[in-house]
Copies of this chain bind each other. A is one copy, B any other.
Amino acid sequence: MKLTNVPDKNELFAARERIRGLIHETAVLTSSLLNAITGSNIYLKCENFQKAGAFKSRGATHALSLLSKDELAMGVATHSSGNHAQALARAAKLLNTKAYIVMPDNAPAVKIAAVRQYGGIISFCKPNLADREATLARVISETSAIEVHPYNNYDVIAGQATASMEMLGQMPNPDYILCPVGGGGLLSGTLLSMHYFSPHTKVIACEPEGANDAWQSFHTGKLVPSTQPDTIADGLLTSLGSLTYPIIKEHVTDILTVTDVQIIEAMYFVFERLKIVIEPSSAVAVAVAMQRPDFLQNKNVGIIISGGNVDLRSLPWITVL
């Protein structure tokens, strides 16, 4: 594994400058109750308050900001049913280009509506990876749009890194950062920014037990794909990528997993006591803190709340807790 091409310190600085004004510098919240429960000093980086409701706006906006006028004129494309789709559609609208979004035909109506609201042009496919990729290839061949992968893209990773860069100015120097991991874009960006700007900070990846492919990859030393993931954390179903896995392997301190019940309990706690709306994927990192791992006691701990896009008509605790 070579890490020679990963974004360097200057590229992260440049990423932050490029997207300044195009995304929110999100708030960091604290809770004395959460501190009491966890035994740690917790700082929540609220990317649920980010444009389009998730950190994904950072990476998508940054990737598009690097395209030439000619490239932008062709539009951008991706397949996604989640936050990256909305983020890419929003970024494209902001930069006066088109976003072609391939979505499975069983995607929730609310997610389809959100992409359309930002002007995204949707092509539906069958809900399997083969048809997603085939449909995306067809769309790209028809439009010459530039593909922007949700995480396996260094420009996207550099954009996601800006969330933890901001955190360093918003909290006491972190001993730990807890970060959810799905495809590894946010985690890779966080690892790089801590490596460059706060090397003593340990980054702990947080993953659902029901989609523990990163945990398996970490412990076997090779990239284990996500197969038949089964978890409420719908943003963390994907496999690590060829670009994210090496960064994670090199820099992550540990990967901890939590059960879906622990995730839902943490999510309910955050709604009920912190009064903010978060999605299950964000609750994964809170759940890890709430398990009170020994090494977090009395430490300054940053948690990246990755997003707040959740179906408010079917919140999971109503049926589960």
Contact = CB atoms under 8 A, between A and B. Distances in A.
Interface stretch (A141-149, A152-160, A245-253, A268-276): A268-276
Interface stretch (A7-15, A200-208, A233-241, A309-317): A309-317
A95 interface: no
Nearest to A51: B32
B313 A317 contact: yes
Sorted nearest first, the 9 A-B pairs with minimum C-beta distance are A275-B308, A275-B277, A48-B275, A271-B312, A271-B277, A313-B318, A276-B276, A49-B275, A272-B312
A239 to B, nearest CB: 28
A53 interface: yes
A27 interface: yes
Contacts of A317: 312-313
Contacts of A276: 275-277
Interface residues of A, number: 21
Contacts of A29: 27, 49
Contacts of A49: 29, 274-275
A22 to B, nearest CB: 12
A267 to B, nearest CB: 10
Given A268-B312, A276-B277, 10 more contacts: A27-B27, A48-B275, A49-B274, A49-B275, A53-B275, A276-B276, A277-B277, A313-B317, A313-B318, A315-B315
Q: Give the most central of A46, A273, A277, A318: most B CB within 10 Å.
A: A277
Interface string A252-278: 000000000000000010011111111
Nearest to A315: B312
26 contacts: A27-B27, A27-B29, A29-B49, A46-B275, A48-B275, A49-B274, A49-B275, A53-B273, A53-B275, A268-B312, A271-B277, A271-B312, A272-B277, A272-B312, A275-B276, A275-B277, A275-B278, A275-B308, A276-B276, A276-B277, A277-B277, A312-B315, A312-B317, A313-B317, A313-B318, A315-B315
Contacts of A271: 277, 312
Contacts of A315: 312, 315
A275 B27 CA distance: 12
A74 B27 CA distance: 42
A29 B27 CA distance: 9
Interface in A161-218: none
Interface string A78-94: 00000000000000000
